[in-house]
């Protein structure tokens, strides 16, 4: 059985740590900083970092890779179309890899960056900065249509899938979600719960796809209530869910 823990980094990043206690091998996802991983390993003699999984090229996701690679000789997996330091295995859409005995499917999910990928093992999704709890990543490189397509693909996974994104943005995302859908009782309830969790210093991740589909406006762009709210705010008729998504993302950027 593999245990998954979060190593906090910077102000709001999480480095996901997968641990196989039977072999004392572990893997990390998006180590933007080597120090939290090095500290974890130093406190546990005998453990070996065998794999490093990277979703995209931004520094807060890859900054620790080269240090960890030199210290451990872990295998580094990352998107083929982006510059990933010390990458050993270049991944593209629909590739499959084995990490700690688990098979992971690789999905291309462009939008936040053009080469962004996600890793999926039945019931688990490591999605970097594409899908957030109650939100989605900014469009630094891709188009709204690309990001909407990527989110739609992830939303089609089983509803009990645990969503391991890489930032603690849930509270601010839910404030926006309530502004978009003030009548959504699920979102209002989730905001109250998350506010209490953050005041107590409790992390809000992982989420589930079922919860995201109830409360994440970016996965709900096809809902009439959201279209009406966005149309009213923009003064235009956003005729498709992808157009609603684009208007939502632009609104969130200034929220």
CA nearest to 170, candidates 196, 217, 133: 133
Task: State mean pLDDT over 88-101.
Answer: 98
The per-residue pLDDT for 167 is 98
Identify the band that residue 117 occupies on the pLDDT scale cut at 50, 70 and 90: very high
Strand order in the sheet with 102-108: 96-99, 102-108, 117-121, 124-128, 162-165, 207-208
Domain ranges of the chain: 2-254
DSSP 219: G
Helices 185-199 and 170-180, packing angle to 10 deg: 160
How many angstroms separate the CA atoms of 252 and 166, rounded?
Answer: 19
Pairing between β-strand 96-99 and β-strand 135-136 as defined by DSSP bridges? unpaired
CA distances from 179 to 124, 129, 132, 154, 255 (A): 29, 22, 17, 24, 10
**What's the pTM?**
0.97
Task: State mean pLDDT over 232-254.
Answer: 94
The per-residue pLDDT for 112 is 98
How many angstroms separate the CA atoms of 154 and 210, rounded?
Answer: 12
Evaluate whether 37 touches 15 at the Cβ level (below 8 Å).
yes
Q: What is the CA radius of gyration of the chain?
A: 18
Beta partners for residue 119, in sequence order: 106, 126
Give tens-digit pLDDT for 196-231. 999 999 999 999 999 999 999 999 999 999 999 999
Residue/partner pairs of 21-27 with CB below 8 Å, 24 or more apart? 23/100, 24/48, 25/49, 25/50, 25/100, 26/50, 26/100, 27/51, 27/52, 27/53, 27/74, 27/99, 27/100
Q: For residue 174, is pLDDT > 90?
A: yes
Write out the two tokens for 133: 């709890």
How many angstroms separate the CA atoms of 175 and 195, rounded?
Answer: 10
Average pLDDT taken over every residue of the chain = 97
Architecture of domain 2-254: 4-Layer Sandwich (3.60)
Q: Which residue positions form the known binding site?
A: 56, 58, 60-61, 112, 129, 167
The per-residue pLDDT for 12 is 97
The per-residue pLDDT for 53 is 99
Cis check for the bond before 206: say yes or no (omega within 30 of 0).
yes
Task: Break the chain down into helix, strand, coil percent, rounded to 5.
Answer: 35, 25, 35
Q: Which residue positions form the known binding site for Zn(2+)?
A: 56, 58, 60-61, 112, 129, 167
Q: Report, as residue numbers or ranges, the catalytic residues.
A: 56, 58, 60-61, 112, 129, 167
**What is the share, in percent, of the chain residues with pLDDT greater than 70?**
100
Q: For residue 1, is pLDDT > 90?
A: no
Cβ-count burial 86-116 (b if 16+ within 10 Å, e if not)? bbeeebeeebebebbeeebbbbbbbbbbbbb
The per-residue pLDDT for 79 is 98
CA distances from 208 to 80, 88, 213 (A): 28, 31, 9
Give tens-digit pLDDT for 8-65. 999 999 999 999 999 999 999 999 999 999 999 999 999 999 999 999 999 999 999 9
Task: State mean pLDDT over 143-156.
Answer: 98
């Amino acid at each position: 059985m593999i245990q998954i823990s979060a190593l906090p980094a910077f102000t709001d990043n999480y480095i996901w740590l997968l641990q196989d206690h039977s072999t004392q091998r572990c893997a990390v996802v998006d180590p933007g900083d080597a120090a939290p991983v090095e500290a974890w390993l130093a406190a546990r003699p005998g453990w070996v970092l065998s794999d490093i999984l990277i979703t995209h090229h931004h520094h807060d996701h890859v900054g620790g890779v080269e240090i960890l690679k030199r210290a451990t000789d872990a295998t580094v997996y990352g998107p083929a179309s982006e510059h990933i330091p010390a990458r050993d295995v270049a991944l593209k859409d629909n590739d499959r890899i084995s990490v700690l005995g688990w098979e992971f499917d690789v999905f291309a999910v462009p939008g936040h960056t053009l080469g962004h990928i996600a890793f999926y093992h039945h019931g688990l999704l490591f999605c970097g900065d594409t899908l957030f709890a109650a939100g989605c990543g900014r469009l630094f490189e891709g188009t709204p249509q690309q990001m909407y397509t990527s989110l739609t693909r992830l939303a089609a996974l089983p509803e009990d899938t645990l969503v391991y994104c890489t930032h603690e943005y849930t509270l601010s995302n839910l404030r926006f979600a309530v502004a978009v859908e003030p009548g959504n009782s699920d979102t209002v309830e989730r905001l109250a719960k998350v506010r209490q969790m953050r005041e107590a210093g409790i992390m809000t991740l992982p989420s589930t796809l079922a919860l995201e589909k109830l409360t994440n406006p970016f996965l709900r762009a096809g809902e009439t209530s959201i279209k009406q709210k966005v149309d009213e705010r923009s003064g235009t008729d956003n005729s498709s869910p992808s157009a609603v998504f684009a208007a939502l993302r632009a609104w969130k950027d200034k929220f």
